[in-house]
Amino acid sequence: MAPHASEPASDEPASYDINLPYKPLGEQQELRKSRKTSKYSQYLPTWEPVFFPPCPEFEFIDPALRADKAKRNLLNGDAVLKHISPKMGSELTGVQLSEMSDAAKDDLALLVSERKCVVLRDQNFADWGPANQQEFMAHFGKPNYQPITGSVPGFPGFHIIYRDGNQAEIDKFFEHKLTSTLWHQDVSYERQPPGYVMLCILQAPEVGGDTVFADTTEAYRRLSPAFRSMLEELRATHSSEKMCNFARATGGLCRKDPVRSSHPIIRVHPVTGEKAIFVNGEFIQGIEGWKDPESEVLMKFLIDHITKGHDFQVRLSWRPKTVVIFDNRTTCHTATLDYDASQDKDRHMFRLASMAEVPIPVEK
């Protein structure tokens, strides 16, 4: 088990994602306080000393391919669907995830594929328990086991996102960084990265701590035909090496050897047939066949294009009993640490990610 620490040591590197804990809090004041005040102490991050072998390639059939195109299994009864923006994002009310049939889950997968992210309010999902929650997401693909962040004991598919108001750590982070935003696709370094990803809020500030999503399909469409054609020929190397090295350098536990995969920069969605830019600022080491300065220029351009395109983004505010399911293949996202952490404002949620197909390149 990784060593305990009450505050970041002065010689430790600053976290590259301030929203995540990378090692146990131990029997310190912050954890004792959290266990007393959190309604969901079962979901506070725990690091079990287990090791995950490489995930072998597996067959994946997208559940959206089984869906009723009119989504009659999902959009019936009291269900109300409201779009958040014209380009992406919808809010679905009047349904409970915990009561969905398999056919309704297939319809939900199709809705997520089409709208990129779906927000569900007034859910009892957070109180359903880890076994039921994990089983629900297993319908959408193979569970992913995150190598370095905390999970729920006995349920390694849970990725705990927890910001406990440690102002000293945040202050150190902003000594080196200009912003807390880190635009990425989850776990893109895997051979078969997640397709459908769920975020379930447990505790959040009254204001702030939002999650922002960008539509990388629309970002692709905005590029010129000649530029798109060039990108369709390129592949990038995705790796978890930086993340694993950071955890080890700060005394954390890494439960899986670094994974490295080659993925197309433009990928094709297996359900909609849409093309999307598949790059991020966290896991890409470079473009294959290009020199480092060349890769850096193109990657900066693409990430700037995606993150500055506010006309194909949505900003989702968290409130109690909210669940978000998004398509990890056609979106980038980032958390925002914009609230006053010195006021003990915890931001606590869990992620369940369902691994999908090997990214599909554009056929020429």
What is the distance between the alpha carbons of residues 115 and 305, in angstroms, rounded to a whole number?
20
The reported pLDDT for the residue numbered 223 is 98
The reported pLDDT for the residue numbered 294 is 98
The residues spanned by each domain of the chain are 29-361
The reported pLDDT for the residue numbered 79 is 97
pLDDT above 80 (res 107): yes
Instruction: Give the residue-averaged pLDDT of 187-207.
Output: 95
Superfamily of structural domain 29-361: Clavaminate synthase-like (3.60.130.10)
Q: What is the pLDDT of residues 231-267, one digit of tens each?
A: 999 999 999 998 888 888 877 888 999 999 999 999 9
pTM of the model: 0.91
The reported pLDDT for the residue numbered 4 is 36
